[in-house]
Amino acid sequence: MTTESKKIGIIQRLEVAASILLVSGGIAAAQAPATRPGTAPAPAPASAAPNPAPAQVPAEPSVTTASFGDWTLRCQRIESPKATRVCEVAQVLQAQGQQTPIAQIAIGRLSASDPLRITAVMPVSVTFPSSVQITLGEKEAKPLDLPWRRCIPTGCLADAAPGDDLLKQWRKASEAGRIIFKDAAGRDLAMPLSTRGLDPALDALAKERF
């Protein structure tokens, strides 16, 4: 993913898309010619303008999802400014006994020629400067450092390119990894990140058409 606006996960893109309203209304009545007092209004046209043709519905679904263990493959078709299909595999992190997500991790690309990037959407209560660190696989493995990019009302975003070698290591991991970040008080907080289903999810992502 190449720019900050394009590094936001599909969930954020859906929020933006949902906020775009196409408003159409009959304004012809407001544009009718004025009449002098005591004169009859101009007669209405004999025939009304034909109704506009309904917008064509795409043959493919706008959003698709598929579950692979604890990971979900999500694809969205974006029509503006030109038709683009964006896919990623993601995992939503929740505290035990709670329904509200705490964080989200997504791996994806905007086009087949772009490298895979991993994006973390974390709570807005974080410390700057700092970063998000992700460790999967061997406990001694060096964590991947994700620099912060920006904060939006729903969370703060950090991202980085993991590289092919690191992704291969993550695919083979059998134990849960960790996500570490600093909260607003400067404390290091760690959350478990499941590896169950990551390997087949990335295989399915590689087969998607962009």
- The domain in which residue 106 lies consists of 4-19+60-207
Which amino acid is it at 77? R
- Is residue 36 domain-resident? no
- Is residue 52 domain-resident? no
CATH code assigned at 65 = 2.60.40.1880
Q: At 182, phi and psi to the nearest 5?
A: -100, 125
- Is residue 132 domain-resident? yes
DSSP 153: T
- Is residue 51 domain-resident? no
Residues above pLDDT 70, as percent of the chain? 68
| Cα separation, 139 vs 168, whole angstroms | 15
Average pLDDT of the chain to the nearest whole number:
75
Q: What Å distances lie between residue 26 and 32, 49, 51, 162, CA to CA?
A: 12, 11, 11, 53
Per-residue pLDDT tens digits for 147-167: 999 998 888 999 999 999 999
Per-residue pLDDT tens digits for 121-134: 998 888 888 999 99
- Is residue 29 domain-resident? no
Q: Kindly tell me if the per-residue pLDDT of 97 is higher than 50.
A: yes
Other C-beta atoms lying within 10 Å of the C-beta of residue 181: 25
Q: Kindly tell me if the per-residue pLDDT of 146 is higher than 60.
A: yes
- Is residue 35 domain-resident? no
DSSP 102-116: EEEEEEEESSTTSPP
Record the pTM: 0.69
User: What's the number of domains the chain is made of?
Assistant: 1
